[in-house]
A and B are shown apart, each in its own frame.
Chain A
């Protein structure tokens, strides 16, 4: 592999990991409620903006990051409780529209709470690039990959081993049966929004040192994450990771070898192609399993 293509791959994996985290948030909420949460990108923005401003106000970087992730988690819980939970008897399309409204509200609030400027967050361990087989890689890229791997490992432990995780999975497979064994599906809904918000915020603080952050930087990341979730198969956790990484790589290679002008087009072309050719996505099987 040439140094050049290695460079593109490294860049693609970095953004791909971010898309994967956002896509996981989409899938977690979709599984718990059938809702596609279009406010998912705002969690990314809230994470990045909170961390940037808290750090700028003099807080230590790790503390600022922890607070930012926590704050986004609380916003996620509030969104579930006050917006989605209130309209629980409404149908899924209504709930999706509510999330679109919530995303606009959150972006508007972000302009008031913060401003319209672009903010920077320092990288976790300096800006001096690392040389790897001829490619130059930012240390932050390695952080992105390492944290994403850790997050995916923790999620698979959570859903595979813990009581709440299994209850959330069970609710996604069969809501009625979950209620009949005593699982409180409202708690599952809350937990899914909280978890998705935390994942989004983690993505936000990881990417902020590379691409900067502003009140509207969640829009594009949210849409890309959604495209990644569709590509991998909405509702599938391995699919979200595969979809995210694939999308990141495709974008990076297209930008490198074709033209960087087409970078953002790739995601949406891929999403359209997936919806036309294999609507279930790479690893999704939910629709075909419903008899």
Chain B
């Protein structure tokens, strides 16, 4: 579904990605692990079109989208949950979710809202409250819910568990697993490599802008280098 070939990107003159090859198949949950500054977020930014690719090709459903605008990609079904949640703080939970459906026909909106509130019951009685007043966990649910409102074919998740209490981390990962069981296609970046690898079908290890390891999730979880570098074992 998504094929990335020799993708490079840079901030000014500083390279952030140096020839990344990666693919995500339909219905797969692919995890991307790596240290801070390895380029994980940059890769997702390039996939969403908010950061230009310096070189390489991004193909989605067999069409070249390397130069497509963020808007076109959302319309095609590539939707990102950005790092740090990035909710529209002063706007209500409801408005945040409705904006998630910005590129969808308006008649779908109410069904989408029902689906998100069913998935995250904690948000239901906060519908009219400003998103900025929610707890970190609830904001993360809102950020995921907002992305789901865009009916993603490919969901990009950037650090969904960052800064959350362990119980909430478990909850977010349970949600991601539920989405996967619901046949969603997901590319997941998370510092919690252990949890990410345990639910992933396949995974990649990104180091200073390059893919250095790739394999099945459980394979990588038991790979000595991964264990040492990212799992703290």
A170-B91, A173-B91 known; A181+B150 contact, CB < 8 A: yes
Do B87 and A167 touch (CB < 8 A)?
A: no
A170 touches B70 (CB 8 A): no
What residues on B are CB-neighbors of A181 within 8 Å?
Answer: 74, 79, 99-100, 102-103, 146, 150
- CB <8 Å contact, B87 and A182: no
A173 to B89 Cα, complex, angstroms: 7
Tell yes or no: B132 within 8 A of A by CB.
yes
Is the CB of B80 closer than 8 A to any CB of chain A?
yes
A40 vs chain B, min Cβ distance (A):
24
CB distance from B54 to the nearest CB of A (A): 15
Residues A177 and B95 in contact in the complex (CB < 8 Å), given A182-B74, A183-B102, A184-B71: no
Complexed CA–CA distance, A183 and B74 (Å): 9
B100: A residues at CB distance < 8 A: 181
- Give A166-186 as 1s and 0s: 1 = Cβ < 8 Å from B's Cβ atoms: 110110011011111111100
Give the docked Cα–Cα distance between A94 and B82 (Å). 29
Say how far B48's CB is from chain A's closest CB, in angstroms. 6
A182 touches B150 (CB 8 A): yes
> Which residue in A169, A180, A289 is a CB contact (below 8 Å) of B86?
A180
- Contact digits for A253-291, partner B, Cβ 8 Å, 1 yes 0 no: 000000000000000000000000000000000000100
Q: With a CB–CB cut-off of 8 A, which chain A residues contact B146?
A: 181
A182 / chain B contacts, CB cutoff of 8 Å: 70-71, 74-75, 102-103, 150
Chain B positions within 8 Å of A174 at CB level: 86-89
CA distance A184 to B68 in the complex (A): 13
Which residues 173-202 in A have Cβ within 8 Å of B in the complex? 173-174, 176-184
Q: Mark B116-160, 1 if CB is under 8 A from A, else 0.
A: 000000000000000010000000000000110010000000000
Judged by a CB distance under 8 angstroms, whether B37 is at the interface is: no
List residues of chain B with CB within 8 A of the CB of A170.
88, 91, 99
Q: Chain B: which residue is nearest A177 at the CB level?
A: B86
Min C-beta distance of B128 to chain A, whole Å: 13
- The residue on B at minimum CB distance from A285 is B90
Q: Among the interface residues B50, B70, B82, B150, which one has the most CB atoms of the partner chain A within 10 A?
A: B70
User: Known interface pairs A166-B99, A170-B99, A182-B150. Does A177 touch B71 (Cβ–Cβ under 8 Å)?
Assistant: no
Complex Cα spacing A169 to B74, Å: 19
Q: State which residues 99-113 of B face A: CB under 8 Å.
A: 99-100, 102-103
A31 to chain B, nearest CB (A): 11
A interface residues, tally (CB under 8 Å):
17
* Chain A residues within an 8 Å CB radius of B70: 179-180, 182
* Nearest chain A residue, comparing its CB with the CB of B106: A163
Q: How far is the CA of A176 from the CA of B50 in the complex (A)?
A: 8
**A167 contacts B102, CB within 8 Å?**
yes
**Selected contact of A177 from candidates B69, B75, B88, B90, CB within 8 Å:** B88
Among A132-181, those with CB < 8 Å from B are: 163, 166-167, 169-170, 173-174, 176-181
**Interface hits, B55-77 → A, CB 8 Å:** 69-71, 74-75
Residues of A within 8 A of B79 (CB): 180-181
Q: Are B82 and A180 in contact (CB under 8 A)?
A: yes
Contact residues in A for B98 (Cβ distance below 8 Å): 166
Contact of A169 among B48, B50, B91, B102 (CB under 8 A): B91
By beta carbon, the residue of chain B nearest A173 is B88
Q: Are B95 and A166 in contact (CB under 8 A)?
A: yes
Q: How far is the CB of A196 from chain B (nearest CB, A)?
A: 21
Q: A176 near B102 (CB under 8 angstroms)?
A: no
Assembly CA distance A222 to B102 (angstroms): 35
Pull 20 A–B residue pairs with CB atoms less than 8 Å apart, ordered by A.
A166-B95, A166-B98, A170-B91, A173-B91, A176-B50, A176-B82, A177-B88, A178-B88, A180-B50, A180-B70, A180-B74, A180-B80, A180-B82, A180-B86, A181-B74, A182-B70, A182-B103, A183-B71, A289-B89, A289-B90
Chain B contact residues, CB within 8 Å of chain A: 48, 50, 69-71, 74-75, 79-80, 82, 86-91, 95, 98-100, 102-103, 132, 146-147, 150
A169-B91, A176-B50, A182-B70 given; name 20 further pairs at CB < 8 Å. A166-B91, A166-B98, A167-B99, A170-B88, A173-B88, A174-B87, A176-B82, A177-B87, A177-B88, A179-B50, A180-B48, A180-B79, A180-B86, A181-B79, A181-B102, A181-B103, A181-B150, A182-B74, A182-B102, A289-B132
List of 6 A-B pairs having minimum Cβ-Cβ separation, nearest first = A182-B74, A182-B103, A177-B86, A179-B70, A173-B88, A182-B71
